[in-house]
Amino acid sequence: MADLSITAANVEKVSGRVETGTAGIAITAGQSVWVDTNDDNKVKLADADTITEHALRGVALCDSAADQPVTYLVDGVMDLGATLVVNEVYIVSATAGGIAPVADLASGDFLGIVGFATATNRLTLHVASSGVAKA
């Protein structure tokens, strides 16, 4: 399979808790993010290749340029702006900021669970990072 094709203009919070931070890189709505405590708590793109060091924090709700404010959902329900498979678990992909089905977890990737689909357009966030690479 492949990363979800997300239409940033369609990403929105349905319910839940948001946080706001300063983007450490350009971020697009719908991308998975983490907070870099070693870089002034800047919000950056999550990546399954390095998630052991960079725990997943949530999903961006807006576009942001580097050093500008960015808001992201940390728990709750969102319209992800993509076509989802109901009951599918979605994870951080090996592409920075990407979100993919759990079946895409490859050897050497670190598991970062974003959440699961409750409708073809709704993602319920259950953010968790294992800190362990798949064998």
CB count in 10 Å sphere of residue 108 = 11
Query: What pLDDT, on a 0 to 100 scale, did the predictor assign at position 132?
Result: 86
Query: What pLDDT, on a 0 to 100 scale, did the predictor assign at position 50?
Result: 86
Query: What pLDDT, on a 0 to 100 scale, did the predictor assign at position 74?
Result: 97
Is a pLDDT exceeding 80 seen at residue 1?
A: no
Contacts of 38 (CB under 8 A, 6+ apart): none
Query: What pLDDT, on a 0 to 100 scale, did the predictor assign at position 52?
Result: 65
> What would the two tokens of residue 81 be?
């702006």
Query: What pLDDT, on a 0 to 100 scale, did the predictor assign at position 131?
Result: 84
Write the pLDDT tens digit of every residue in 19-59: 999 999 999 999 999 999 999 999 999 999 987 667 899 99
What is the set of domains in the chain, with CATH numbers? 8-133 (2.40.300)
Residue 10: what are its φ and ψ, rounded to 5°? -100, 0
Is a pLDDT exceeding 70 seen at residue 8?
A: yes
Query: What pLDDT, on a 0 to 100 scale, did the predictor assign at position 55?
Result: 85
State the Cα–Cα distance between residues 118 and 113, nearest whole angstrom. Answer: 15
pLDDT band at 5 (very low <50, low <70, confident <90, very high): very high
Q: What is the 3-state secondary structure of 57-113?
A: EEEECCCECCCCEEEEEEEEEEECCCCCCCCCEEEECCCCCCEEEHHHCCCCCEEEE
> What would the two tokens of residue 127 be?
């953010």
State the Cα–Cα distance between residues 109 and 67, nearest whole angstrom. Answer: 28
Write the pLDDT tens digit of every residue in 69-98: 999 999 999 999 999 999 999 999 999 999
Taking the whole predicted model, whether its pTM rises above 0.75 is answered as: yes
